[in-house]
Structure 1
């Protein structure tokens, strides 16, 4: 019985420590205050915890949930496109509604997951690329703080890969404490609290942020999550998972949570024999991870205060280190089909450019331009036959 519990707790700690910085940075990038960012992280922890307990217990499967890491990266890349956190919250709510709809109306889910892999992967790579440049930039701008973080990440990555980013975050926290002091530990905002944010439904922000958030959450997290479960012999219920995670996203959006979805990387730990030799008992691992997330949520205020006290480039650098693996995977997926490499590169360049046209961010335009190029190149051979 202790084996699945241990696996679940390790998965929760690893998942939280490796990407909470990205979540805070993403929420602040779209206009959240320190208290609102802390509320968003707390809401995510609570909702991940509840979904990781209820659905695995009901279906007796290791169905694990997490916040949308690609979605958080999208928020960082979006920068100040929304100009208003209320409008960003409205986009989060729309994203949750679309996830629910994709569960109730499978045609929508199939349409999103059938976006050509070169385009979807290239869009994600374009979102991640500027963030993954941050360790380089930070090492030049803040060498005394950033270089030790990068070195520790490299050393721990070779010895114990899952703990590389948490170790880098510890070094960053030590550097922040030495240079900025420890006042953030006693800041009033360190206490866990949910802050209600009334959503504003701005069509431009919904197109610029809400739709890309829905697409990267579905294509970058939910689809791989289903694949992981099926790899280990489970047949997860798509409707219940999508409706449940969509409702959780919608409920959490008004407290600053940007998205809940199936876990992918940590899911493998809890669905594999490492969690328990008996397949019927592995759900205990995901329930344990849910309980751990409920506890970790109590530290959301401290996490936000730490991020607020640190140089922004340092926090983005830690986030960039956490996303290097995802960048490699997305670039590989984008370029594996020789016939679609030009399409992929076009999508990548437009997305990575960060351009905003008519107030709509580059992720949307990357999808649009990539699709247009693919259709154009696909039509030319047909005309010559």
Structure 2
């Protein structure tokens, strides 16, 4: 190659490199093209597919809000399917893909700490979603989870009415111990129930309908079917298993709580086999997480969004945005989940629930 040709090639390469650098820009620049670098990529990791809300509501709401706020942002998604080790691998995959912000609902809040540390070391901002993960988290969005437990406990007392006495035996099936929210639900529920009823049997149902059903069966054996006044279930999924066990034991007409306002839970409330649930509006929570993620991606302040502070299990002080939960009973289904278009009356009242819906005034 002669000198003239060599100068042309070198000059062309330099221009090409300059254009490439200019095109990359910094995270959050409007013209940043990150189709291969991950510069405008946000990761979303959800904990399981058993809880209906995550795939049906949280994921699509989050993706839609991110798209609205940042039209050229990309959401990378994975679900841990209830496996903490799988979620750790998913964090590693997100790091490899080059995401700039990672929104994660931890399957195990303590186990994920090292994964979050690894992500942060790579310059990734982490938003804890619904569950406060341990480690150097930049922001946290959830509901006031102690309040959730208080609402559950109070709904149980309200359903018991005059039967709520210090000798009334209540079974308490809590959530997964590895989930920090479960401890808050439990704490809130105890604050409402302690001293007012006798919590005669208390175990973790591990967020599993099968496990909860098994624990309920044990409680019936130990206490006696006729001596159980009510059941606290930390969520609707477990309430489904508990309701089946109660029916099998010939127990009916006693209060059974829940949480998440799952369609099956709402239908059980209509049918009278579950007395209450707690509605944590999924869209506001997903929208809030998306806004936090995009702000962090773009280097914007989040103080106006995360106006409170929570301390994680690792002792980290995390800027937090906490939303307000709502108790749902048969009396306010129309004014909550139907009004917010979470479910239509037709969905709730399908098939075997049609008659009960008419009695409840939904049709």
Task: Name the TM-score, length of structure 2 as normaliser.
Answer: 0.23
Task: Name the TM-score, length of structure 1 as normaliser.
Answer: 0.22
Structure that is richer in strand per residue: 2
Instruction: Point out the structure with max Rg over C-alpha.
Output: 2
Higher relative contact order (CA 8 A, sep 6+): 1
